[in-house]
Amino acid sequence: MNTPEKGSNDMKKIPVYLMLIISAVFIISCATDKPVVDIKKSAADYREMANHFYNIGDINRAVLYFKKALEEDQKVANFSGIAMDLNNIARCYISSGDNKNAEKLANEAYSINKRIKSLSGLGDSYLLFGLISLKNDKYDEAEEYYIKSLEMYRKAKDKKGESLALGNLGSLYIKTGKYKKAQKYIEDSISIQKKLKDHTGLAASYSNLAFLAEIKGDDKKVIDYYTLALKEDQFVENSIGISTDLANLAAFYKKKGNYEDALFYYKRALEVNRSIGIIQREISDLNNIVEILKVLGKTEEMEIYRKALDELKSAYIQKTE
């Protein structure tokens, strides 16, 4: 990946809920009658709205509002805000598979963070570089970036960023089979997330611990951790996280042959995904429900869901053509 100073272990982060600290300085902008502090607040409001759409899986609207935040920050040359907005848009592009444009924006954000000597901003940049490397299956490079990100956040005394970097390292070590290291980094992240009351972060961490518990064959802990993840996402009404947690529980019960419980959780996941309009997840839920109902011999109910599945697939194909 062509990133600045790659040899120096640069790394970049996916800003999840990055908070803009707004200085209470009432300066009048040359480009608008609004005070600078109001423009920064407007950018922060757009950013909050964008994060909401991102968390319910509406990437297009997330990009729209992150771009509105960028426009506001550009009006007053709010460099830290501009870098944050660029990173957030890049994060959306990664989610939609557009790694090329994501990398371009990530590099632009990095150059800003480096110029203004923002340690937290550099942590953000390195974390996002790490994610891009991970998407390109460059695991060693991703690890270098994540470690650099962790160093920047610690220098900045940015605990939220530190927990993100630790969590990303934990996820990377799971992917590369380094389970003991993964457990340590995830638990370190959780200790910070609990202090910060970072519910979405805790949900992700508990899901990772559930995965590790499954590898160890500890079925009780698997259910306990996935249930904890669900509770955390429910607390902040993170719909896409709730959908994931329900599907994780359903998949585990299905794997264990507990079809009644699996059916219950797939149906709940389907309800969530219908409400937020994530068609790919709806199709996955319906496929699993049809399969389980067939195993349970509930033919009449199975046909109802099969019909819904066929109709949804047909509508999705027409929509994407």
User: What pLDDT sits at residue 319?
Assistant: 77
Taking the C-alpha atoms of residue 291 and residue 272, their distance in angstroms, rounded to an integer, is 20
State residue 103's pLDDT score. Answer: 96
- Are 85 and 47 in contact, with CB atoms under 8 Å apart? yes
pLDDT score, position 21: 29
Q: What is the pLDDT of residue 10?
A: 42
Using CA atoms, how far apart are residues 175 and 131, in angstroms rounded to an integer?
Answer: 13
3-state secondary structure at position 195: helix
202 by Cβ neighbours in 10 Å (0-12 / 13-18 / 19+) ranks as buried
Domains of the chain, first to last: 1-150 (1.25.40.10), 158-237 (1.25.40.10), 253-321 (1.20.58)
Q: Which amino acid is at 50?
A: A
Q: How far apart are CA 8 and CA 159, in angstroms?
A: 23
Burial of 142: CB neighbours in 10 Å, binned 0-12, 13-18, 19+: buried
Position 3 scores a pLDDT of 54
Q: Rounded to an integer, what distance in angstroms lies between the CA atom of residue 292 and that of residue 286?
A: 10
Mean pLDDT in order along the chain per 10 residues (321 residues): 49 37 32 77 96 86 97 97 98 92 97 98 97 96 98 98 98 97 98 97 98 97 98 93 97 98 98 91 97 98 98 87 70
pTM of model > 0.75: yes
